[in-house]
């Protein structure tokens, strides 16, 4: 859903060149953040810290700043460790190894910096930038098509229906979440995840808990509407997690600082 929302906004901006160039940057960033955040959640919850040692201190705790290059550096080190051994099965999303995603994301670094750190160019110049970088962004999205086999969901309850146990889910694929139900036939299908957590389900119903990196939030900042939000920065001095609303694209304060501290303490 985070990527789909950004893609929808990019498509809708096709009649405004100045908006389109910004939406193209946002689309690149949404894909980058999603891949980084999922691998970060996997690293913090599942991977052995003694095996997966990220040497670059800035990349290791890239969540302490806003640098996208540090986040991509984290991805690069994790994937290099996997590729240098026989640990491909360690990753929750092993398909990422075949996507060449790091080099693709690195190739757009200059585009992001140009847009973020220069004044708005002429319309003709903006169109040339779109013509140059849109194919690269679309190539990144195509390389991530394996994500369609995963489901970003919340499981609010289990219930009995016609005498059978059913798992009810909110599925966050595309722009609009949809309801779904799953008949549980054995204990392996009973997912033990908190009812208010967003989780990622693979093809075998194995799950990765994304809280507090991704969460559904209703607060004063969201006007008490429920928004999907994701982590952008940990602020240790303020004991605060700063995030962004996927729907609103504005900054929010996230829940779960203590949970994140416990998870990130495994990092050496």
Strand bridging mode 251-254 / 240-245: antiparallel
d(CA 213, CA 268): 20
Count of Cβ atoms closer than 10 Å to residue 160 Cβ: 8
Q: Is the pLDDT of residue 183 over 90?
A: no
Spell out where 8-146 has E strands. none
What pTM value is reported for the model?
0.89
The Cα–Cα gap between 131 and 135 comes to: 7
What six digits make up the tokens of 220?
A: 């004063």
Q: How many residues does the chain have?
A: 268
Residue 216 above 90 pLDDT?
A: yes
- At 229 the three-state DSSP class reads strand
pLDDT exceeds cutoff 70 at 87 = no
Which pLDDT tens digit goes with each residue over 24-83?
A: 888 888 989 999 999 999 999 998 888 888 898 899 999 999 888 899 999 999 998 888
Both tokens of 123, joined, read 């319309």
Q: Count CB atoms within 10 A of the CB of residue 119.
A: 4
């Amino acid at each position: 859903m985070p990527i789909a929302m950004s893609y929808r906004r990019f498509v809708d901006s096709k009649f405004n060149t100045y908006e389109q160039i910004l939406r193209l940057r946002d689309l690149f960033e949404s894909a980058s953040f999603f891949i980084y955040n999922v691998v970060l959640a996997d690293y913090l919850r599942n991977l052995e810290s003694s095996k997966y040692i990220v040497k670059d201190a800035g990349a290791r705790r890239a969540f302490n700043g806003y640098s996208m290059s540090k986040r991509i550096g984290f991805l690069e080190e994790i994937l290099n460790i996997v590729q240098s051994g026989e640990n491909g099965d360690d990753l929750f999303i092993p398909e990422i190894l075949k996507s060449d995603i790091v080099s693709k994301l690195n190739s757009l670094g200059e585009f992001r910096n140009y847009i973020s750190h220069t004044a708005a160019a002429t319309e003709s110049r903006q169109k040339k930038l779109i013509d140059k970088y849109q194919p690269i962004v679309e190539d990144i999205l195509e390389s991530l098509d394996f994500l369609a086999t995963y489901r970003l969901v919340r499981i609010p309850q289990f219930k009995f229906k016609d005498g059978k146990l059913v798992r009810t889910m909110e599925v966050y694929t595309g722009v609009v979440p949809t309801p779904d139900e799953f008949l549980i036939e054995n204990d392996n299908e009973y997912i033990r995840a908190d009812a208010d957590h967003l989780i990622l389900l693979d093809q075998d119903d194995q799950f990765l808990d994304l809280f507090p990196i991704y969460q559904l939030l209703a607060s004063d900042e969201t006007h008490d509407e429920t928004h999907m939000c994701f982590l952008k920065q940990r602020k240790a001095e303020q004991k605060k997690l700063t995030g962004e609303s996927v729907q609103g694209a504005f900054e929010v304060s996230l829940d779960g600082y203590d949970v994140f501290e416990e998870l990130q303490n495994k990092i050496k």
